[in-house]
Amino acid sequence: MDRYAVFGHPVGHSKSPQIHAAFAAQTGQSLSYEAIDAPPDGFAEALRDFIEQGGRGCNVTVPFKDEAYRLADRCDALAGQAQAVNTLRVEPGGRLAGFNTDGIGLLRDLTQNLGLVLAGRRVLLVGAGGAAAGIVGPLLAAGIAQLVIVNRTPQRAGDLARRFAAHGPVRAAPLQAPGSGFDLVLNATAAGLGGRAPDLPVAVFSPETVAYDLVYGPAAGPFLALARQAGAGACHDGLGMLVEQAAEAFWLWRGVRPATAPVIAALRGA
């Protein structure tokens, strides 16, 4: 039985084992999938042990996406743009191929599951870490009118905007003065894991705004509560993105693309 895993810290809350078990059952694939909590300074060692014990591939979540990029022997274009990897595949000779499926997962959830049109929209991205970096390229490729990036550390927002300047209309702005009335506001910070919302001015929201947190469950609560109180027209967590990016990883590992709608529905029902 082929072995897969998700690495993170913390990772006990992850729904990825349930998702991949559902994908395997649906597609008739024989595999195991587990959550591995690696110490903050021990990801490389934990990954090496996993591979030595027969690991064929893994997902990577907070805080290891940047390190996974550095450890990969080769990366696809999206991971190269983002300089962050959320999916690793073990190839012949033990070489590691790195991918970033976050942006693909987000766009599929926004457009296919939620029915949003992204072309021509003004988008605010809150955060400039690995999660944010993984979605900038796909958002710009979708034809949005403008992407504004804000971050608690302004330099990181500026660095990320400059990295993608040749790919579309993107700029950095101060956290407290990003502009107003965005069509889509994306929270890619980890503030919700600590029970906090990012310190945003309420003017970024309007009744036409869709607010979306890249995380799911209780961790998305503070940002979505802020958005609702500020009058956002629609609020969504990132459960659909999680399932969609997992489906892309599953395809990269197994060459089979699972159906995502029944898995999303089952997780929502639970």
DSSP state of 55: E
Distance separating alpha carbons of residues 5 and 193, to the nearest angstrom? 21
Find out whether 127 is annotated in a ligand binding site. Answer: yes
Find out whether 131 is annotated in a ligand binding site. Answer: yes
Tokens of 187: 């929270």
Find out whether 232 is annotated in a ligand binding site. Answer: no
Find out whether 76 is annotated in a ligand binding site. Answer: no
Distance separating alpha carbons of residues 30 and 35, to the nearest angstrom? 17
Which sequence positions are flagged as catalytic? 65
Tokens of 132: 């944010």
Q: Which residues contact residue 110 at a Cβ distance below 8 angstroms, ignoring those fewer than 6 apart?
A: 116, 118, 184, 212
Find out whether 130 is annotated in a ligand binding site. Answer: yes
Grouping H, G, I as helix, E, B as strand and the rest as coil, residue 32 is strand
Tokens of 158: 């500026």
Q: In what order do the strands lie in the sheet with 234-236?
A: 170-172, 146-150, 122-126, 184-187, 210-213, 234-236
Residue 34 φ then ψ, to 5°: -135, 165
Find out whether 4 is annotated in a ligand binding site. Answer: no
Find out whether 16 is annotated in a ligand binding site. Answer: yes
Find out whether 153 is annotated in a ligand binding site. Answer: yes
Find out whether 196 is annotated in a ligand binding site. Answer: no
Find out whether 152 is annotated in a ligand binding site. Answer: yes
Distance separating alpha carbons of residues 219 and 213, to the nearest angstrom? 9
Find out whether 213 is annotated in a ligand binding site. Answer: no
Residue 10: is the preceding peptide bond cis (ω within 30°)? yes
Sign of CA dihedral 198, 127, 141, 72: negative
Find out whether 156 is annotated in a ligand binding site. Answer: yes
Find out whether 238 is annotated in a ligand binding site. Answer: yes
Find out whether 151 is annotated in a ligand binding site. Answer: yes
Using alpha carbons, list the distances in angstroms from residue 217 to 51, 221, 270: 31, 7, 11
Binding site, by residue number, is: 14-16, 61, 86, 102, 127-131, 151-156, 214, 216, 238, 245
Binding site for NADP(+), by residue number, is: 127-131, 151-156, 214, 238
Binding site for shikimate, by residue number, is: 14-16, 61, 86, 102, 216, 245
